[in-house]
Amino acid sequence: MMQIVTDYFEAFNAGDVEAMLACLTDDVAHHVNEGQVRRGKDLFKAFCAHMNQCYAETLTDMVVFSGKDGARAAAEYTVNGTYLQTDAGLPEANGQTYALPAGSFFDIRDGKIARVTTHYNLADWVRQVAA
């Protein structure tokens, strides 16, 4: 169970969206920080395409935790990024860099990730890129 979460984050750091999708159930529920729940791999893939257009990110300082029954997991990490292209409703992008603590929570079903919930402090991110 921990391996699927590790595989997911390794794929993220490699920029390999297809490998990330391979870690997910077809009906994955993606709970975006301060956003709507997106259901299914197609919406997850579209979200990744948008994020990769606006941001270049690598995750470091990763710690993965899991529940005893293997049905849930969590991870804490640092998002190290560059703001590439202005995202709607956010400050203007001009290549600013940022380091942001974040966490993700997972439901695991049949060896795949069925839910991804990500949390970070948006106000902290805005402060960093607006400085």
Reported as a single tens digit per residue, the pLDDT across 41-87 is: 999 999 999 999 999 999 999 999 998 888 999 999 999 999 999 99
Q: Which candidate, 105, 50, 49, 51, places its Cα nearest to that of 77?
A: 105
Residue 7 pLDDT greater than 80, yes or no: yes
Residue 1 has pLDDT above 70, yes or no: no
pTM of the predicted protein model: 0.94
